[in-house]
Structure 1
């Protein structure tokens, strides 16, 4: 397949009349981007891939709105935003990422819209999720998806939920807060999202003890590097001898940078943008920030090289790099990433403790 420009891809996606055309095009692009990976700088490759994911997801929302209307459900009674969480929110989806999403709609201003909104957005959510399934995006196994009423709510409903998590910061609530911190709108009214992020950042500024609660969750996943600098490999099953790139390298780095970004009040969501924001804002020295950028670049590339499989027509991966793929060069690269990740986790812990001493 001839390499397509982003504008050509955008045009093809916009021209599609149904999910079947979109699915055929996604499968073609999957093959093309897989071939591009080894020939591209991974950050740039990741950036372009995620722009493509955004185009598919936005088109899915448009098709869902048309479907609901054609079935007699009418138009959206209120402005709304379709948002992504997880790797989608960070703009770091792999070729096979799942659905981590939600819907935020404006507060009803009269009894009529108050009555109509929940039913309409429930119907819309079901349609969007169904189309994304047909495009090969599996549902989030943790239930962070717009068909779950928890993640489909009015602005005030989200705000109430946010404050419940902030004011009762036990493990599960803090987990939700960190999920929410990666929120990014891909369709609709961005102001609904920005106002919620301002609420969260403002609360953390006024209550820096929240950082300590967030730290425990942030350091939960350990770097896959042993005390003698050896890789910690999978011991059993079909991934035996391989390395868990997702949870042993990528997630620990993402989590550490996210907490530093929350502490700094940054409003960007990608790990790359957060590192640059920390550097440009004077929150971290340039040399250290550049090391972090190198580590996330390696982690993104190796994560995208993990094997994937099709399950019921959906792209999935276990996030493990197989032993066969661990060449001498790749092991050296991975160890560098993991050493930087180890230092990052120490840096984050020290940084939060400094904030506690101040506050």
Structure 2
């Protein structure tokens, strides 16, 4: 398995006719990439891991459709889009990412709302059952297509999103920021583009909403002490370790995402967002270079966090252990965190100034 090429891995995935077959491939691919990560990390490995996750999810949906046909439910009655949210939406999944997803579908004059709902409930059950077998744990926050909130027609998604904008309390803003990272993994990209377009248009027309998005965005602070020391975990099994997910990775993701929303950028990948912010002269090149470097470190260290099999699910607590915090890693991490702190200051200044300009 160690010498399988990407082409061979993809072939195995797309030739699979059962979820169990794909699980065997996932376990083998997981071991193969974990060995790579232990010896050398590169952005290319991260890209390959995400390509493979995409292929597993895509094939799972294809098989789910076939299964429903075999059971007499026919083909999908209307076009739909299966969307990934969270790190999947941003193409930033680790080897052990969980499921954050939703489903959007078109309405139809030929089928009632109830008929469409019945079909898509069954389809989603089948997809999630497949992903479960493959070892993807469901999202803790219930941002998943089995939850009616994340499985509905496009018109109802737009309505729900508008309601969130109109009443920007903490929870609604959290959902809006989750939605900003959506990506179509299967089906109608046009529907997802339409929803994203509506999202960005609302922000352009109501810039004051940015102050609510800012408050939520800066909720996770970069964890670097006043004297430039790392703030490590104090208690429990991670004592002495560092929370790379919430201490470095998420704050950078959040800051870049908000600038992308402000700039009207559709793309959901953090690195692409930085590139497009620079290309549109929204940020200077020097900042883009610094942010890309810091984000690269955050991604690398996040990929190195210990994982465990919880039941049959691949999971991680997103924390580097005390043993992993070598002198070299600490230096890299501190530089990443310093850049992250500057990024957060820049975001605050950019949003504040934008709102003031719009007022004036």
Same fold (TM over 0.5): yes
Aligned residue pair count: 358
Matched, 1:103 2:98: no
Matched, 1:80 2:80: yes
Question: Tell me, what secondary structure is at the counterpart of 2:221?
Answer: coil
Q: Tell me which residue corresponds to 1:252.
A: 251
Q: Following superposition of structure 1 onto structure 2, how do residues 320-359 of structure 1 map, counting pairs within 5 Å? A: 320-359=319-358
Question: Tell me, what secondary structure is at the counterpart of 1:283?
Answer: coil
CA distance in 2, matches of 1:353, 1:68: 51
Q: Tell me which residue corresponds to 1:175.
A: 174
* Structure 2 runs not aligned, ≥5 long: none
Matched, 1:57 2:51: no
Question: Tell me, what secondary structure is at the counterpart of 1:273?
Answer: helix
TM-score, structure 2 as length reference: 0.98
Q: Tell me which residue corresponds to 1:283.
A: 282
Question: Tell me, what secondary structure is at the counterpart of 1:202?
Answer: helix
CA distance in 1, matches of 2:174, 2:346: 21
- Displacement after TM superposition at 1:46 (Å): 1.2
Q: Tell me which residue corresponds to 2:239.
A: 240
- Displacement after TM superposition at 1:3 (Å): 2.9
Q: Is the 8 A contact 1:42 1:298 kept in 2?
A: no
CA distance in 2, matches of 1:299, 1:197: 27
Q: Tell me which residue corresponds to 2:92.
A: 92
CA distance in 2, matches of 1:253, 1:194: 24
Q: Tell me which residue corresponds to 1:208.
A: 207
- Displacement after TM superposition at 1:115 (Å): 3.6
CA distance in 2, matches of 1:357, 1:27: 53
Question: Tell me, what secondary structure is at the counterpart of 2:233?
Answer: coil
TM-score, structure 1 as length reference: 0.98
Residues 256-309 of structure 1 deviation map (CA, whole Å, 9 limit, x = unaligned): 000000001111111010000001111000010110000110000100100111
- Displacement after TM superposition at 1:332 (Å): 0.5
Residues 171-221 of structure 1 deviation map (CA, whole Å, 9 limit, x = unaligned): 111000000000000100100100000000000001111110000000000
Matched, 1:124 2:127: no
CA distance in 2, matches of 1:349, 1:109: 47
Q: Tell me which residue corresponds to 2:195.
A: 196
Question: Tell me, what secondary structure is at the counterpart of 1:153?
Answer: strand
- Displacement after TM superposition at 1:228 (Å): 0.6
Q: Tell me which residue corresponds to 1:14.
A: 14
CA distance in 2, matches of 1:215, 1:122: 35
Q: Is the 8 A contact 1:77 1:113 kept in 2?
A: no
Q: Please identify runs of 4+ aligned residues in structure 1 that moved more than 6 A.
A: none
Question: Tell me, what secondary structure is at the counterpart of 1:138?
Answer: coil
Residues 41-79 of structure 1 deviation map (CA, whole Å, 9 limit, x = unaligned): 532221111011000000110111111222222211100
Deviates more, 1:27-36 or 1:186-195: 27-36
CA distance in 2, matches of 1:200, 1:40: 39
- Displacement after TM superposition at 1:26 (Å): 0.3
In structure 2, the CA distance between the partners of 1:280 and 1:38, relative to structure 1 (3 Å rule), is farther
- Displacement after TM superposition at 1:40 (Å): 4.9
Deviates more, 1:29-38 or 1:263-272: 29-38
Q: Is the 8 A contact 2:241 2:319 kept in 1?
A: yes
Residues 119-169 of structure 1 deviation map (CA, whole Å, 9 limit, x = unaligned): 000111111001001000000000000110100010111111110111111
- Displacement after TM superposition at 1:113 (Å): 4.6
Q: Is the 8 A contact 2:38 2:304 kept in 1?
A: no
- Displacement after TM superposition at 1:5 (Å): 2.5
Q: Tell me which residue corresponds to 1:68.
A: 68
Q: Is the 8 A contact 1:98 1:138 kept in 2?
A: yes
Q: Tell me which residue corresponds to 2:298.
A: 299
Q: Is the 8 A contact 1:77 1:116 kept in 2?
A: no
- Displacement after TM superposition at 1:36 (Å): 1.7
CA distance in 1, matches of 2:107, 2:5: 40
